[in-house]
Amino acid sequence: MRKNIVAGNWKMNKDFFQAQQLLTQILSYTRNSQPSCEVMVAPPALYTSMAVDLLETSGVKVLTQDVSAHQSGAFTGEISASMIKSLSAFGSLVGHSERRQYHGETDSHCNRKIKNLLEEGLTPIYCNGETLEQRRSGQHFEIVKNQTEVALFSLSAEEIVKVVIAYEPVWAIGTGETASPQQAQEIHKHIRTLIASKYGDNVAQEISILYGGSVKPDNAKEIFSQEDIDGGLIGGAALEVTDFAKIIEAFSS
C-alpha cells in the first residue's frame, strides 16, 4: 500500500551543533504530535549516527544523501550500503539532481546503488526529473521514462515495491520557473503508468512517489492532494522545524 511520506534533505547544511539542535527540535515535535505520514530526514553523512540515536524513539527514519555504487574497496570518500546499514539508518537518496549535475551520476550508477541498498534491506529513494532545457523542448516525458526504465526496470516486482521514487522538476528549482500542482501530478501519473506497464497496476499502486519541487508550507496541501503525489522530498523548508512541521501537517489538515 502506498505510504504518505515527508522526507527532509538537509543537503550540505548545518554544523554538528546546529544539526543536533534541529534533530532535538524534530524529536520534540514528533513527541508532541501524531504525524499522519511517515517522516524521514537525510542529514549530512557525518551526522547519521547522531540522528539515529537521537530519533530512535520518535518514529522518524534516517536516510543518507548518497550511497556508493560499490560494495567495498579502494574508493576514498565513498559510503557503502553495508556501512549505512551498520548505523541502523533506513536507506538513502539515490540520483539526486545535484549528484547528477555536479558529480556526473548516471541512471546506470543509480541502478547499481539501488541494488546495493536493496541487498542490505535498505530503502532507496530514487530521484529523477528533467532540466529546464528538456522541459522547454518537450522532452520531459521521454527523459523521465528513460530515467525510470534504466534505473529501475531490471528489478523484480518484489524489489521495485521497496523503492520510493522522488520526482524533481529540476527546471523549477532556482530558475524562477514554477511547477503547478497539475504539472507535478501529470508527471507522477506518467511514472506510475510506466511502472504499471512493466509490472502491473497492483505493483504500481504499491509505490510511493514523492514530489521534490520546492514544497513549502503554503503549497504543500494542494500538492499533496493530487492523486498520484504521495508526499514530498523537502529541501530548504526542512532546515527549520516550524516549516518542516507545517509541511508534515498538510496531510492532516
Let me know if 253 is exposed, middle or buried by CB neighbors in 10 A (0-12, 13-18, 19+): exposed
Domain residue spans of the chain: 5-251
pLDDT string in tens for the chain (253-residue length): 799 999 999 999 999 999 999 999 999 999 999 899 999 999 999 999 999 999 999 999 999 999 999 999 999 999 999 999 999 999 999 999 999 999 999 999 999 999 999 999 999 999 999 998 899 999 999 999 999 999 999 999 999 999 999 999 998 876 666 689 999 999 999 999 999 999 999 999 999 999 998 899 999 999 999 999 999 999 999 999 999 999 999 998 5
CATH superfamily name and code, 5-251:
Aldolase class I (3.20.20.70)
The 10 Å CB-count burial string (b at 16+, else e) for 182-221 is: ebbbebbebbbebbeeebeeebbebbbbbbbbbbebebbb
Residue 231 annotated as part of some ligand binding site = no
Give the pLDDT of residue 157. 98
128 labeled binding residue: no
d(CA 239, CA 22): 8
For the annotated catalytic residues, the residue numbers are 96, 168
235 marked among binding-site residues: yes
Total residue length of the chain:
253
Q: What is the largest CA-CA distance in the chain?
A: 49
Contacts 24+ apart (CB under 8 A), 79-83: 79/45, 80/116, 81/113, 81/116, 81/117, 81/119, 81/120, 81/122, 82/120
DSSP secondary structure string for all residues of 7-30: EEE--S---HHHHHHHHHHHHHHH
212 is in an annotated binding site: no
- pTM of this prediction? 0.96
The helix/strand count (H/E) of the chain reads as 12, 8
Task: Look at residue 253 in the predicted model and tell me its pLDDT.
Answer: 59
202 is in an annotated binding site: no
Report the SS3 class of residue 50. Answer: helix
